[in-house]
Amino acid sequence: MPLSPGSTAPVPPAPTALVLRGRRLDAAHPGVMAIVNRTPDSFYGGNRHANLDDARRAVDTALEQGADIIDIGGVRAGQEGERVDADEEIRRVVPFLEWARGAHPDAVLSLDTWRCEVALAAGADCVDLVNDTWAGHDPELVHVAARLGAGYVVSHTGGLPPRTDPVDVTYGDDPLDVVRDVLRTLADGAAAAEAAGIPRERVLVDPTLDFGKTTAHSLQVLRCTADVVALGHPVLQAISRKDFVGETLDLLADDRLEGSLGATAVAAWLGAAVFRSHDVRATRRVLDMVATIRGDRPPLRAERGTAAVAGTPSAGVAGT
């Protein structure tokens, strides 16, 4: 019987590897970036870690569950919640980064900020990656990241300033116009990061779903993840529990895990390299499964049906 045309369809290109602190995140091991918000007002209640002991437990747990990067932030992304100036942001995140470096010296630490003074206060010893979620709003931040020897996340917000929710956002009549804007912005931002002195393997590009986008925009950009991968930089997808997932399924943040994981699997298949997540263990398992289906990662066990275990029930054997 001949195979169907889909049986020979090629696997999408492998992700470009990200290299930070001697750790390589690639097709065989896509990265999980665990979110630790030092805030009392994060949109997802399960990730509000204003309490110091609670935040420390969150880091310990994330690493135990398979996180590759710990992303620490001190300001809620959206316009709701309290105003936080640079001094307060520094108070929230810098001592905590110092604790994390001391407690987990080999961990890859990311600072989620749009302010250069916060990154400078944190310093080279505590910051391996600067996650600039507001698309270079502070033009000095990329240069500070280079000075610190850190990696840098290039993002896309549709031109909106920090902590601005999108209203009546349009990119043109063609549904793909938002993708074209994302690709142009990310390519320009990545080139600027390299020109600032950040090595190519440390420059992540993030389509930044929800930011400056409607749900329809975010879904369209997600479908086109392979086009973002084709820019030649490692791709970060920040999908976890976002509004485009909630609106697609009509669910509040607490109930968006399955939708987030479904979108994560699609983006991983299409070649994204790193995934920012509130749910480390589940995301780690999804990414490992997708990497194995793609052929980039071998199964940890492959005993079923082999002579070595013939007649011996396996813990993983499905029932009849």
Query: What is the model's pLDDT at position 83?
Result: 86
How far apart are alpha carbons 145 and 43 in whole angstroms? 27
- pLDDT score, position 10: 80
Under a CB-based contact definition with an 8 Å cutoff, are residues 119 and 113 in contact? yes
Q: Let me know: does 182 contact 233? Beta carbons within 8 Å.
A: no
Check residue 133 and give its pLDDT: 93
Domain spans of the chain?
A: 13-309
Spell out the per-residue pLDDT of the chain, length 320, in tens: 666 666 666 888 888 999 999 999 999 999 999 999 998 877 766 777 778 888 999 999 999 999 999 999 999 887 777 789 999 999 999 999 999 999 999 999 999 999 999 999 999 999 999 999 999 999 999 999 999 999 999 999 999 989 888 888 999 999 999 999 999 999 999 999 999 999 999 999 999 999 999 999 999 999 999 999 999 999 999 999 999 999 999 999 999 999 999 999 999 999 999 999 999 999 999 999 999 999 999 999 999 998 866 555 555 545 44
Considering only the top CATH level, what class is 13-309?
Answer: alpha beta
d(CA 114, CA 26): 26
